Structure 1
Amino acid sequence: MTTQPWRITLRLLRQDWRSGELYLLSAALILTVASITAVGFFTDRVEATMDRQGSELIAADLAVESSSSLPDTFQAESDRMGLVSARTLEFRSVVVADRGPQLVQIKAVDPAYPLRGQLRLRDGFDSPDRTIAAGPPAGEVWVESRLLRLLDIGIGDPLGVGDTQLRIGAILSDEPAQGGGFFNLAPRVLMNRTDLEATQLIGPASRVTHRLLLAGDARTIADIKPWLTARLPPNASLVDAREARPEFAAAVDRAARFLRLATLVTLLVAGAAIALASHRLVERQTDAVAVMRCLGAPRHLLMRVFVLRLVLFGLIASLLGCLLGWLGQAGLVAALSGWFPSDLPSPSLAPILVGVATGMIALLGFAVPPLVQLAKVSPLRALRRDLGTPRTSAALTLAAAGLALSLLIFWQADNFALAWKLLAGVLGALVSLIGAVLLLVRLAGGLAGRSRGVWRLGLAALARRPSGAVLQIAGFGIGILALLLLAVVRVDLLRAWQDSLPVNAPNYFLINIQPHEVEPLRAFLRERDIDENELYPMIRGRLIRIAGREVKPTEYENPRAERLATREFNLSYGEKPQPDNRIVAGDWWPDAKAPPQFSVEQGIAETLGIKLGDELVFWVSGHEVSGPVTSLREVKWDSFNVNFFVSASPALLGNEPATFITSFHLSADRESVIPELTRRFPSVTPLDVDAILKQVRQVIDRGVLAVEYVFLFTLIAGLLVMYAGIQASLEDRRVEHGILRTLGAGRRALLSSLAVEFTAAGLLAGLLASVFAETTGWLLAEQLFELEFSFNPTLWLIGVFGSGLLIGLAGTLATYPLLIRPPLQTLRRAG
């Protein structure tokens, strides 16, 4: 008896597959698992890269990182304890070749660098990699290959770095500490630290990241950590190899979570397809189950067979979905290839377990309630077809689907608060969507009573099956919404942002201007008729206390506040507020002799909980500076002028070491000024905002492409829902068409009524998707980006009429075979 259920299960499963009964259900389940595992395999590869690098991410076992020079006592203590050490300085600057200047990320290193891992070099574009365990020799630089392409130079050519010329010795293929981490915008340049003084690029207040790298046995590293921690300045931090690059780990985690949540949309739509396909499967197998009951099969045996068949089918379909997901992750890697400096490692098998579990939860949640009713089929059904199929409890169906969806949302979101918000948003959107569909279906029923001919038949058919129409229109509407929403975000919001930029907005920034260069630089710009903005002093400082309360990143729930609490601020001072600033609370200081005080941008004040009257304490240039907040400002950031989150009175910061910053507009035909400026002022770093925005747009476009790639699964799921809705109503349509044809309706009239029905369903789905897409776009523009949003009529035309045409054509073609069958054959089968 123990093998009997398995034997029956395998036989029925084989028969179902041969007859095509499981094709639709398997397609929906495979698609769901494929979308989940494609993202899972991708994020697994990224996380494996971070885990694999370990100590190589910082080229050491332990690093001390600071924005200013580190105390010599740190080096002395590490030498005393027998640790190997090396120093690095990292900063952004501009290098010059015959073709012009180029912004780069420069790292100056000791000969002992790297302490962990190896450098990989090439002697030409087509040369193989070679490994080396030491940094570049004096007088030589190693550069990333794209810098050679950008400047059209080669190995052996000179490269202007500040006041000196250094020879390009090799192409830098890979280094243990990537500097910018996974996401690199500027090409990298590696140089010897002994050449740094000759470049004259570093001044007392220059923006430089100093690192002391330490390596040794685990016990000694563990012993020095408390000693260093107790003596760290507020603007310095310890970076452990096991906790290397937490900002990139957080960025990857957020991106992975977003992509996983995007796959839940596919699960939501595919779940409707699974439920519809299960309903269709139940109807097709009711007669077979009735015969088995007549032959003496007990109900408990049938229940066992149904569960085993469902589990076995789910495992097979889930594994096929995992295979498709493994192939699909290659598309994500290709879409985001520009984000990563080297090839990613192969994925592990962990996403397969996640994919199989997801598939089984989805299948059990959406498919079990319809299939459970098969065990309740009466043996009389074999003789009396009018008995029909036992009805499934609507409460059981909704509870099972809701439980499965909730479980998967909480699992994929990996954040309780986020999961609750997402679940509430999904339920709210579904209730709104279903309510709108019911209203529109009822409206279609009203129009059917006033119509004639094929219009009456088509609209009446839509209103006659409201539950099927709701699932069909809502499912496909969600798929269309995904596509339209991406169009709104990519096109409409980007255009609105571009339109908000003022004419002749500054497109160049000059940073790292040393105090002795301020007047010569002003004269240089004036001689070339360039109207620069004011040159503003800029001082780096870390916020350490607010109103006597120590600033601890872990105490902030807001991720942005947490990041701000860990970073250094660009502080400035001046007698007057900048032109783009408006005082919204408090008062600006009356003159340069006013006592020490701060003015804070209102947005960051809200984020960090800063109020008027609070005393702020910053760590600046090795000591504390403090003052009360006497005003809050509203800043127009999109002016592209120089602005600061925190400004101080001259009495507070006027004596601190500072560099200066300015911005100006330079037309395309005058860009030759920049190479001249770079040669005249080698320590000044010009930032081409247009070029940076172009690079940022490329990164964003890659991210949007990845999201679109994931939403492609959603669109396919929407098509499956439509097809499943059509298939679920085929039995009823077959009888209806048989009766109508017996009463004299022609094929052409019925075909036309089908076109009317499905086109109307498509128009309704497109209308709802357009409304939701425009509403979401408006909310994003007004609440998040603070942009003026204008409705896009083209989006409505494409959404409504494109959806109507697509669904109308697909639905008509799918049901056309019903019209070919003779009506007598149809009625005999129904009887």
Structure 2
Amino acid sequence: MSGAAVNNSARPVTHNPSCTSRLSWAKLSWRFLLRDWRSGELWLLVAALLMAVTVSTAIALFSDRLQLALGRQVAEVMGADMVIRSSRPVQESLQTEAREQGLQLSTVLEFPSVVMAGEEMQMISAKAVENNYPLRGHIRTADQPFSPDQRVDDIPQPGTAWLEPRLFPLLGVDIGDKVMLGNTWLTITRAITLETDRGGDFYSFSPRLMFNLNDLESTGIIQPGSRVSWKAMLAGERDQLEGFKAWAEPKLDDSERLIMADDSRRDLRDSVVRLKQFLGLASIAAMMLAGVAVAMASQRFAERRFDSCAVMRCLGASRQQVLRLLVGELALVALLVALPGVFSGWLLQEGLVQLLKGILPAWLPEAGWMSMVVGGATGVITLAGFGLAPLLRLQAVSPLRVLRRDLSPAPAASWLVYGCSLLAVFLLLWYHTGGLMMALILAVTSGVVLVLISLGIQFALGYFGHRHSAAGIPVFWRPAVSRIIQGKGKTSAQLLAFTLTFIAMAIVLVLRTDLLDRWQNDLPENTPNYFAMNIQPAEVEAYGEFLAEHQVDTSQLYPIIRGRLIRLNDLPVREAVSKDEQDDHTLNRELNLTWSENLPEKNQLEAGQWWESGSNDGLSIESELAQRLGITMGDRLTFIVSGTEFTETVSSIRTVQWESFRPNFYMIFPKAVLEDLPATWLNSFYLGSDNKLLLNELITRFPTMTLLDLDSVIRQVQVMLAQSTIAVEAMLAALLIAGLLVMVSVIESTIDERLREGALIRSLGGTRRQLLLMQVGEFILFGILAGLLAATGTELATYFLTTKVFELAWQPVWYIWLALPLFGGVVLGGVGWLGIRRVVSESPANILKEV
């Protein structure tokens, strides 16, 4: 019985040895963690990892909030987050589903009509709105036409109407007069100066009259067959909108088109897209810096455990058990740092938001929880990608190291170390940019830098290995050269760390400059703020003379011919394009065709040549439209204008800056092709706020002309871009701080070796001044070399990022070849001096006793 009892009691011990083993190893890793924390061995690794999580979380949160805010500002220009347009009332089932999913809904009708006042009548674009219009943005009105305006939160009351300022002189009316719309009279109460959703086709706008939707039935205008544009305007949270979009798109009929805010205004969209890309790049740069810091801290963490691993090997521990123990300790560090890192990242971005309050968008939404999850996960991935490789050396620690302290394991293969790091970077790049191209560009750039470092070290080994070559090196640089020659693996890691740090900061700085210059060029001080349309051919000369007489800054006059694309290479256009593009809006409406003898401003040829003056054939097409429809050089396009068909061959493809607020066109022809077809004329001009009364005279002089006021829209765009500029500057400042922290961590990772070298030099008669010059000289040399390598990597990366991702013109940045080596030498020398003061001040006797 007693034997049975013994057997039974033994079963729980041997029943599941793997669980017991895992539990014991976890406890042992925890004990090692507590011991190392109390001894101060972990502070550098914890600090580097904390920086990785903090910076990653802060930038992820700040970027997410800013992108949401900018997306809201784009939505304000459209008046909603999403719009369903139709030539018929929007399906009731769609509206019901939108309400059930918690979305706000507002119905808007737009239609052409005629308004009368006394003996005068005028073609207008009438808009009927509900009480909750607009869902995003606001309306601005003035008490008198062309007088200062103010924001309002209401709409026209039943029985009243708001008119655009240009309608007042055309109808000869004032505030308080009545106009007749259909069968009802409406009292004019305000002059409307801004509708947030007044976008789309600039060339089909008539003067606006806005009235209450409750008055629509009394006008008697809407009848079967009437030309009406129905809009269901929707607003809500991002996940609600995405869910409704996925549900609604398959159920739209042929007349309905769903438009998201990001797709509604190209003039805003392109700038916002570039800003999002830049914020993604800043996030990537921060993660690279954090990864470098973690890699160097992990290397120091591993090197300081050679002795303890040797002792464990002497006591019977296998290589796998040693590695499991230390990886477990590292995993515990990651888990314990992740939560406070996420919290500190939230505090950092919140402090930044408060600091920039009043400059950033007034409404800055809270970021989603996913940004914090990504921030915490980034720290873990960074530790795995950058910190695991140095720990692999601990498997190779020999038990003989207990007797021979100089017996250190060989460094892990460089391809393994750098391969793990680059893989981690690439995965993070791909996730945060959402674009494979940007991730590949930066990954390839990092690979090129690695090759350059390897080749540079091989060259140094071959050249400085000879005594006569080393003799010409300044004394205070010889330790640096010696370190390169004697410890090329460790030197490569440090040089790579400094180089990637400089590259990350330089890329963000260079692209920031290009981005801000592009915005400034797109919206210069005198950006045209008025479009004049429907200028009759007989009035073109008089119109030009009027602007010249009053010294108005104006753009080129363009003829507008309304035509439809019907065939592509002799095939009906719907058969010639892909199935996905058969519903492209350019195929479902008339296009604005024009002629020009010169390439328009802000246009650039992508392929082909511009025609010579007097040419009678040719066609230039906008590049994005050509790409969507699969049109290439030499294709034949057939158009119909007022019953007349003509065919032209594509002779050039050009890019257009739609955000420039200038007349832009999909199709441009030589003058001889279109000059005999009926046309009206268009141009844009700039008019200062102190000269607005000139508009009354202009409208009276040319009553058939349509005038579109873009002043309020341009102001809104300029405010948004100014806020974006502040965000870019804040990102750059955060990266600079992160870069300095990386340099400190790299220096600290080599402090043990420097202390021993300093003690030996001092014990052999070297002075503190000589030691200081040697150490600082080494950092200056490292800074110059890292700066030169970083200049090469920066030029390579910015070329591909500028041309392939941001779609900007690239120019060599000559100043970085001087600035980066100088910056590297000065900053690294200064940070090095701060970091190695302990090497100079520490007593050699104390250091040598510990060795």
Structure 2 residue aligned with 1:733, among 741, 754, 763? 754
Deviation at 1:753, TM superposition (A): 1.1
Structure 2 residue 499 is the aligned partner of structure 1 residue 480: no
The within-5 A match list for 1:43-122 is 45=65, 63-64=84-85, 70=87, 74-75=88-89, 86-89=107-110, 109-112=127-130, 114=132
Report Cα offsets for 1:689-727 as digits up to 9, x if no partner: 9x9888766645544543454454543443344333323
Deviation at 1:787, TM superposition (A): 6.2
Do the aligned partners of residues 774 and 405 (structure 1) sit closer, same or farther apart at CA in structure 2, a change above 3 Å counting?
closer
Report Cα offsets for 1:124-147 as digits up to 9, x if no partner: 9xxxx9987x7655546699xxx9
Query: Which one-letter code corresponds to 1:405 in the other structure?
Result: V
Structure 2 residue 334 is the aligned partner of structure 1 residue 314: yes
Query: Which one-letter code corresponds to 2:495 in the other structure?
Result: I
Q: 2:141 & 2:688 partners in 1: Cα distance? A: 38
Structure 1 residue aligned with 2:473, among 447, 451, 456? 451
Structure 1 residue aligned with 2:408, among 353, 370, 388? 388
Aligned to 1:229: 253
Structure 2 residue aligned with 1:627, among 621, 641, 646? 646
Q: What percentage of residue pairs aligned between the two structures are identical?
A: 29
Report the secondary structure of 1:229's partner residue: coil
Q: 1:161 & 1:798 partners in 2: Cα distance? A: 68
Report Cα offsets for 1:586-606 as digits up to 9, x if no partner: 978979xx8xx7621485686
The within-5 A match list for 1:208-247 is 210-213=229-232, 229-230=253-254, 232=255, 237-239=256-258, 246=263
Q: 1:352 & 1:196 partners in 2: Cα distance? A: 50
Confirm or deny: 8 A CA contact 2:508 2:732 kept in the other structure: no
Confirm or deny: 8 A CA contact 1:140 1:169 kept in the other structure: no
Do the aligned partners of residues 452 and 48 (structure 1) sit closer, same or farther apart at CA in structure 2, a change above 3 Å counting?
closer
Query: Which one-letter code corresponds to 1:733 in the other structure?
Result: R
Query: Which one-letter code corresponds to 1:512 in the other structure?
Result: M
Confirm or deny: 8 A CA contact 1:544 1:617 kept in the other structure: yes
Confirm or deny: 8 A CA contact 2:563 2:593 kept in the other structure: no
Q: 2:247 & 2:31 partners in 1: Cα distance? A: 67
Query: Which one-letter code corresponds to 1:471 in the other structure?
Result: A
Structure 2 residue 39 is the aligned partner of structure 1 residue 11: no
Confirm or deny: 8 A CA contact 1:781 1:788 kept in the other structure: yes
Confirm or deny: 8 A CA contact 1:538 1:661 kept in the other structure: yes
Query: Which one-letter code corresponds to 2:849 in the other structure?
Result: R
Aligned to 2:388: 368
Q: 2:298 & 2:437 partners in 1: Cα distance? A: 33
The within-5 A match list for 1:532-611 is 535-539=557-561, 546-547=568-569, 548=571, 550=573, 571-574=592-595, 599-601=619-621, 607=627, 609-611=630-632
Structure 2 residue aligned with 1:814, among 820, 835, 841? 835
Deviation at 1:642, TM superposition (A): 5.8
Structure 2 residue aligned with 1:281, among 301, 309, 312? 301
Q: 1:800 & 1:289 partners in 2: Cα distance? A: 40
Structure 2 residue 742 is the aligned partner of structure 1 residue 718: no
Confirm or deny: 8 A CA contact 1:553 1:565 kept in the other structure: no
Q: 2:813 & 2:37 partners in 1: Cα distance? A: 48
Confirm or deny: 8 A CA contact 1:763 1:804 kept in the other structure: yes
Structure 2 residue aligned with 1:528, among 524, 547, 550? 550
Structure 2 residue aligned with 1:768, among 789, 800, 818? 789
Q: 1:337 & 1:568 partners in 2: Cα distance? A: 45
Aligned length: 747
Query: Which one-letter code corresponds to 1:392 in the other structure?
Result: A
Aligned to 2:432: 412
Report the secondary structure of 1:63's partner residue: strand
Do the aligned partners of residues 811 and 412 (structure 1) sit closer, same or farther apart at CA in structure 2, a change above 3 Å counting?
same
Deviation at 1:283, TM superposition (A): 1.8
The within-5 A match list for 1:167-182 is 167=189
Do the aligned partners of residues 778 and 568 (structure 1) sit closer, same or farther apart at CA in structure 2, a change above 3 Å counting?
farther
Gap regions ≥5 residues in structure 1: 92-105, 148-156, 182-188, 198-207, 216-220
Aligned to 2:418: 398
Deviation at 1:264, TM superposition (A): 2.5
Over the aligned positions, Cα root-mean-square deviation in angstroms equals 6.0
Confirm or deny: 8 A CA contact 2:70 2:720 kept in the other structure: no
Do the aligned partners of residues 460 and 505 (structure 1) sit closer, same or farther apart at CA in structure 2, a change above 3 Å counting?
same
Deviation at 1:483, TM superposition (A): 3.7
Q: 1:636 & 1:442 partners in 2: Cα distance? A: 50
Query: Which one-letter code corresponds to 2:428 in the other structure?
Result: L
Report the secondary structure of 2:366's partner residue: coil
TM-score by length of 1: 0.70
Structure 2 residue aligned with 1:427, among 441, 447, 450? 447
The within-5 A match list for 1:667-686 is 673=694, 677=698, 684-685=706-707
Confirm or deny: 8 A CA contact 2:50 2:341 kept in the other structure: yes
Structure 2 residue aligned with 1:192, among 183, 197, 211? 211
The within-5 A match list for 1:653-692 is 659-663=680-684, 673=694, 677=698, 684-685=706-707
Structure 2 residue aligned with 1:750, among 752, 757, 771? 771
Query: Which one-letter code corresponds to 1:748 in the other structure?
Result: R
Report Cα offsets for 1:315-369 as digits up to 9, x if no partner: 2222233223323444776799899976244333222332333222221222223
Aligned to 2:119: none
Confirm or deny: 8 A CA contact 1:612 1:629 kept in the other structure: no
Deviation at 1:282, TM superposition (A): 1.4
Deviation at 1:741, TM superposition (A): 1.7
Q: 2:79 & 2:67 partners in 1: Cα distance? A: 16
Structure 1 residue aligned with 2:58, among 38, 44, 50? 38
Deviation at 1:287, TM superposition (A): 2.5
Report Cα offsets for 1:586-629 as digits up to 9, x if no partner: 978979xx8xx762148568645435663435688xx9975322
Query: Which one-letter code corresponds to 1:279 in the other structure?
Result: Q
Query: Which one-letter code corresponds to 2:835 in the other structure?
Result: A
Q: 1:370 & 1:675 partners in 2: Cα distance? A: 76
Do the aligned partners of residues 108 and 801 (structure 1) sit closer, same or farther apart at CA in structure 2, a change above 3 Å counting?
farther
Q: 1:492 & 1:119 partners in 2: Cα distance? A: 30
TM-score by length of 2: 0.69
Deviation at 1:11, TM superposition (A): 2.3
Structure 1 residue aligned with 2:291, among 249, 262, 271? 271
Q: 1:640 & 1:474 partners in 2: Cα distance? A: 45
Aligned to 1:646: 667
Confirm or deny: 8 A CA contact 2:445 2:797 kept in the other structure: no
Confirm or deny: 8 A CA contact 2:84 2:231 kept in the other structure: yes
Do the aligned partners of residues 161 and 765 (structure 1) sit closer, same or farther apart at CA in structure 2, a change above 3 Å counting?
farther
Q: 1:497 & 1:260 partners in 2: Cα distance? A: 18
Structure 2 residue 822 is the aligned partner of structure 1 residue 804: no
Report the secondary structure of 1:387's partner residue: coil
Confirm or deny: 8 A CA contact 2:786 2:824 kept in the other structure: yes
Confirm or deny: 8 A CA contact 2:532 2:682 kept in the other structure: yes
Do the aligned partners of residues 626 and 456 (structure 1) sit closer, same or farther apart at CA in structure 2, a change above 3 Å counting?
same
Confirm or deny: 8 A CA contact 1:41 1:347 kept in the other structure: yes
Query: Which one-letter code corresponds to 2:412 in the other structure?
Result: T
Q: 2:38 & 2:56 partners in 1: Cα distance? A: 28
Q: 1:51 & 1:458 partners in 2: Cα distance? A: 51
Q: 2:668 & 2:379 partners in 1: Cα distance? A: 55
Confirm or deny: 8 A CA contact 2:802 2:808 kept in the other structure: yes
Q: 2:57 & 2:643 partners in 1: Cα distance? A: 51
Q: 2:807 & 2:54 partners in 1: Cα distance? A: 34
Query: Which one-letter code corresponds to 2:844 in the other structure?
Result: P
